[in-house]
A and B are shown apart, each in its own frame.
Chain A
């Protein structure tokens, strides 16, 4: 799902996309879903769109 969100930000610059993904996850995802994604990213480095990784960093920070 996060990958799909990132794919739909393809018309934006990377910075804009990171902001949009961050806002989207914050607005619509439960904390548990964000935690789950964070765990997946940490155990599968490089498997997730880097813009999603950056968004997660912002959310967790």
Chain B
């Protein structure tokens, strides 16, 4: 249930283009074929009483409250399960159905606690509402008979309680888990009067439940209720905003009592999530008000001195003065900044503007450097724009889904649920992953092909898929001739047909049987709608950019671009990776992906900004760090990123940070990077921000302030203050004005404004005169660059090789309950599920090393070592080990090397040669850096 009710039509909308006319209670209404009588009535403005029906779930027909009479039909059919027929005349209020409804409600209430006034759902309970609607006045059966009133409450889940005594067994929770989330964790056990909802005979916490909240959302009573509502009471107001976790960008209704956030409820109007959520967005928002937050600026002369609190003026003045001194001594380019994919477009925009205009350098980069920079490069080279091609809804039209190096059910769970729904409907599935992720085999889902490749061989496999397409006559010649550049296509075809790209040739290096590769290629090419979804398992390799282009080649060769159900789709890691890239965070590009060397573009920015702008690229993050180590880079502004934990080869990052004379950290918490900072500028949580995020489908969503900034300032104001102290004032009164400036300078954002977003909810860029309401699907009529450009994609193996000393390959990823470096989720009850990083190791590798499940092991690479507990599992194949990187204690990035993507420097997190040995040590002695120097300076 949600406090502020969104319209509920009872059953899902029909998508049929054909319409029929019916009459409900004398009101004529035209509805699509397939519409239920209940929905037709709702569309006519007639509410039919209901309990088991809701428009997010398929009709079930169990509660018998929605009975109606239909002329010419016998009996009193349930309106939720009865489809409209042409000319149907429906009566929803007759003495007969009214009596039946009262009788049904009487039975419900006879076995329901009569504690409405003290019930946490008082005023937000459909059972209570319906009892009123049907006019229940007495319960003739009394309350002394057999009942469920003493049934226990399961409070094992950290975020919600299951009070069985209030359950009416309508199955909405079970169906939500099945249909929306796709976990199938809930069921009805028992028969007749003994029927009850059960999470598989266990407690909720010990069950398969993933705490997405769909069951709580669906429950019409207080049976499944947020503990925050139980503790705090019913909220009284709602603010619609956007989640700040992954790149799905779910819309939420923040529900508050006064200024206290009570719960986050997924919004049905959210274009990305359409009413669904995951455990992080739905429940793990407590970090925003955690006592660890620093709300006052801090400064110190050196990193070994204690912090002291300072006023905003003092902290800003301290930072500005030191930047000035450093630039005078070491030059303009001795300073730089890093923008954050957790911050709003407006916050990011002003940081890159400050660096370019106030610092006077293009040394600005973004944390997307270490995740999806190859996506930007590869898709721009092939399609002409640095973004995914589809909206999330598109997956509903896919016939074949290829998931490469992504784990949507853990890392992008709300989209993962959409994908699973389509797979349950019969779409075919190909998974390319060294690990057996959940999608490979889970309830009602099984991959047709799991190409369990050796880490680092993505390009070899996708080239082999292309080889099969080219040599078995599977190229969509019409699409290629019509849409693609013939010269680059000819070069690609010549390259891809070469024998070294055949499945048989790559079988040895990849470990994937040739026949499986051939079969997967045939399936993908057959489509007819085949879609690629990929994640950091594609990009975080030394061939990340090559791999993105190889996938784009494959999609173009088979004609899988430019319509629903197809495309090449990056699943972005953080909430605003797309936006931070769009906003000109890369050192070579101004907002809108326009190169700094483009004189016309640069002059346009220079004129509006009133500043001279440099025409040559600045340094990337690894360049800045390398330059710092040799004493040439001296000051860094870090917006909302913890590079000391998230970037590879931690030891090298630490040395670089130690070498600087000024590190400014703008963040919620004193993170690992802040250990090396001289100025700490407290940031705002997403609940305080005013601005926009752009998700992985290019959807620009409003982020509205749910509460006042706890620091007293919006982050963009702090950036403007620093810029002004450096002699370059930026004059904005609001975040809306910043977006207006972005729109005036960026053709793909030309039509975007807060007013438009408030009016229509969200838009996907490009949003301009040609596409005033945005562009859900890209490259429909033609590619952004004109003709699609095939790229030759040779497989160049990484230099990171296993040896006798380091015989295993470590790869990394993230888990459902935690998020990236854990700064947010570690400060929530999500630690109940995952409170440390562990090392997944295959039984054969564990046995050969004398490692038992749950014992401590040392993981050593050529750059460092750390200690974790071992988890013996067959999810990883022999020779491959896997861990997450959510906890600083485990120091996963102490091990990862500085090898990186050839085109973008995106680190090769996914391939590190390691050895694993048993150890008696605990985490207190865990992190040891060998001290290797950068290998690709």
Residues of A whose CB lies within 8 Å of any CB of B are: 1, 4-5, 7-12, 24, 26-33
Contacts and interface: CB of A to CB of B under 8 A. Distances in A.
A28 B617 contact: yes
A23 to B, nearest CB: 11
Contacts of B905: 1
A4 B588 contact: no
B903 A8 contact: yes
Interface in B574-606: 587-588, 595, 597
A11 B623 contact: no
Given A28-B617, A32-B333, A8 B588 contact: no
Given A4-B902, A11-B495, 16 more contacts: A1-B936, A4-B936, A8-B546, A8-B903, A9-B794, A10-B794, A11-B792, A12-B792, A27-B588, A27-B597, A28-B617, A28-B620, A30-B619, A30-B623, A31-B616, A33-B619
Tell which of B546, B793, B902 has the most Cβ of chain A within 10 Å. Answer: B902
B616 A10 contact: no
Contact of A5 (B588, B616, B619, B902): B902
Contacts of B543: 8
A33 B794 CA distance: 26
A8 B546 CA distance: 8
Contacts of B597: 26-27
A29 B618 CA distance: 7
B796 A10 contact: yes
Nearest to B618: A30
A38 to B, nearest CB: 15
20 contacts: A1-B902, A1-B936, A8-B543, A9-B794, A10-B794, A11-B495, A12-B792, A26-B597, A27-B588, A27-B597, A28-B588, A28-B617, A28-B903, A28-B904, A30-B587, A30-B616, A30-B619, A32-B333, A33-B619, A33-B623
Nearest to B904: A28
Contacts of A12: 792
B277 interface: no
B794 A11 contact: yes
Nearest to A33: B623
A27 B902 contact: no
A5 B792 contact: no
Nearest to A13: B491
B933 to A, nearest CB: 14
Nearest to B792: A11
Interface in B643-664: none
B616 A8 contact: no
Of all A-B residue pairs in the complex, the 7 with the closest CB atoms, nearest first, are: A11-B792, A11-B794, A4-B902, A10-B794, A8-B902, A7-B796, A1-B936
A29 B902 contact: no
Most chain B CB neighbours (cut-off 10 Å) among A5, A27, A28: A28
A28 B589 CA distance: 9
Nearest to A1: B936
B617 A8 contact: no
Nearest to B791: A11
Q: Choose among A9, A24, A27, A30 the residue with the greatest number of B CB atoms under 10 Å from its CB.
A: A30
B899 to A, nearest CB: 9
Contacts of B793: 11
B344 interface: no
Nearest to A4: B902
B792 A27 contact: no
B723 interface: no
B796 A8 contact: yes
B692 interface: no
A12 to B, nearest CB: 6
Interface of B: 333, 495, 542-543, 546, 587-588, 595, 597, 616-620, 623, 792-794, 796, 902-905, 936-937
A26 B597 CA distance: 9
Contacts of B495: 11
A1 B904 CA distance: 10
Given A5-B903, A7-B902, A11-B495, A27 B617 contact: yes
B617 A30 contact: yes
Nearest to A26: B597
A9 B904 CA distance: 15
A27 B543 CA distance: 19
Contacts of A4: 542, 796, 902, 936
A23 B149 CA distance: 74
B617 A29 contact: yes
A11 B623 CA distance: 28
A12 B546 CA distance: 14
A32 B543 CA distance: 25
B628 to A, nearest CB: 14
B905 to A, nearest CB: 8
Q: Which of B495, B595, B792 has the most CB of A within 10 A?
A: B792
Contacts of A5: 902-903
A30 B794 CA distance: 26
A28 B365 CA distance: 12
Nearest to A36: B937
A28 to B, nearest CB: 6
Contacts of A32: 333
A24 B619 contact: no
Nearest to B542: A4
A18 to B, nearest CB: 15
B459 to A, nearest CB: 10
A34 to B, nearest CB: 9
Contacts of B542: 4
B143 to A, nearest CB: 75
Contacts of B936: 1, 4
A26 to B, nearest CB: 8
A31 B332 CA distance: 14
A31 B596 CA distance: 13
A39 B277 CA distance: 55
A33 B903 CA distance: 15
Contacts of B792: 11-12
Contacts of A30: 333, 587, 616-619, 623
B460 to A, nearest CB: 13
Nearest to B362: A30
A1 B333 CA distance: 21
Contacts of A11: 495, 792-794
Contacts of A10: 794, 796
A3 B107 CA distance: 78
Interface centre among B495, B796, B936 (most CB of A within 10 A): B796
Nearest to B492: A11
A31 to B, nearest CB: 5
Contacts of A29: 617
A52 B793 CA distance: 19
A9 B546 CA distance: 10
A9 B794 CA distance: 7
Contacts of B619: 30, 33
A26 B616 CA distance: 8
Nearest to B586: A28
Nearest to A34: B616
Nearest to A11: B792
A55 to B, nearest CB: 14
Contacts of A33: 619, 623
A1 B587 CA distance: 17
A42 to B, nearest CB: 18
Contact of A24 (B546, B903, B937): B903
A22 to B, nearest CB: 13
Nearest to A5: B902
Nearest to A6: B902
B487 to A, nearest CB: 11
A6 B542 CA distance: 13
Contacts of B902: 1, 4-5, 7-8
A30 B595 CA distance: 13
A37 to B, nearest CB: 11
B337 to A, nearest CB: 15
B235 to A, nearest CB: 49
Contacts of A9: 794
A41 B894 CA distance: 32
A8 B645 CA distance: 30
A27 B47 CA distance: 62
